[in-house]
Amino acid sequence: MSDQHHPSGHDPAVAHHFESADQQYQSAKLGMWVFLATEILLFGGLFVAYSVYRSNHPEIFIFGHRFLDKNLGALNTVVLIWSSFTIAWAVRAAQLKQIRLLKWLLVATMVFAFVFLGVKVGEYSSKWKHGLLWASRYAPHAEEHVGVDHNAAATSNEASREVGSSGKPAVVAASAGSAPESGSSRSTIPLAPEGPAGLAVEGEGSAVGHETSLLEPANARIFFSIYFLMTGLHGIHVLGGIGAMLWLLLCAFRGDFDGGHFTRVDMVALYWHVVDVIWIYLFLLLYLIH
């Protein structure tokens, strides 16, 4: 980071162990790509867990994904795509020494990132309210705590509960004060709305497997374990990206990019694009299950 003039006359921006600025830049790039490969493998491990569990217990995914709001997921996807656009543009701005534009683009990218996190916080708290959590914390109930203790029955393989009081997959508002009928335990957990109007299949939704998909399978909690683990890890990466962008913003204020040294911006942008790509797959595999 030293900009002081060296007596030997070599470019102060090039570290001593590099022959040239270009070699330094290419090394940084390669290093970042290797790191990104490790990130792919990190999430890859979780995708393996997903694949194995989905192939062995598809009913859990067909059941669980109904509690994820496709619209919010799609919104988040679009938000991240836009953030990739703004940060790619930021790299261009840094390359062309358009510092003011660079600052605004960094801010824009961070705003998008915060929107993403905000939506996630909303989704997570809704799950929390309804007890749709991971592993042993899975205890679904409607907001008025009118619901059945799923833990006891879930251990038995015969356990099946009808979800949704009317059988329609539309948003079922938790009916205030409705007590479960004795014997038949009816959950009043509201389901996520089905897709934007106009794109949804007319009527009650897909008839294929409709009735069976409403039955809560044993170990439905695993879906939520996987959901929280994967999106949670991704969210932490988003948070890290925001931190890196804050740092870039400070560097921009300090004048580090005035001379056209854009490598830092380039590297953070590469990281951010991977975060975006991972979400594209997460959205598909968790929210868009048919």
Q: What are the structure tokens assigned to 81, written together?
A: 């795509």
Binding-site member from 15, 173, 176, 250 for other proteins (CB under 8 A) = 250
Residue 144: count other Cβ atoms within 10 Å of its Cβ. Answer: 13
DSSP string computed for 64-131 = HGGGS-HHHHHHHHHHHHHHHHHHHHHHHHHHTT-HHHHHHHHHHHHHHHHHHHHHHHHHHHHHHHTT
Closest alpha carbon to 90 in 106, 67, 79: 106
What is the Cα–Cα distance from 282 to 289, expressed in whole angstroms?
A: 11
| Site membership for other proteins, residue 136 (CB under 8 A) | no
| Site membership for other proteins, residue 208 (CB under 8 A) | yes
Q: Which is nearer to other proteins, 102 or 188 (CB)?
A: 102
Beta bridge partners of 163: 187
| Site membership for other proteins, residue 74 (CB under 8 A) | yes
Binding-site member from 18, 27, 28, 95 for other proteins (CB under 8 A) = 95
Phi and psi (nearest 5°) for 193? -65, 150
Q: Which is nearer to other proteins, 33 or 135 (CB)?
A: 33
What is the Cα–Cα distance from 111 to 117, expressed in whole angstroms?
A: 10
| Site membership for other proteins, residue 89 (CB under 8 A) | yes
Residue 26 CB, nearest approach to other proteins (Å): 7
Q: Which stretch binds other proteins (CB under 8 A): 49-57, 108-116, 185-193, 218-226?
A: 49-57
Binding site for other proteins (CB under 8 A): 2-7, 21-22, 25-26, 29-30, 33-34, 36-38, 40-41, 44-45, 47-48, 51-52, 55-56, 70, 74, 77-78, 81-82, 84-85, 88-89, 91-92, 95-96, 121, 195, 199-201, 206, 208, 249-256, 258, 260, 262, 266, 269-270, 273, 276-277, 280-281, 284, 288, 290
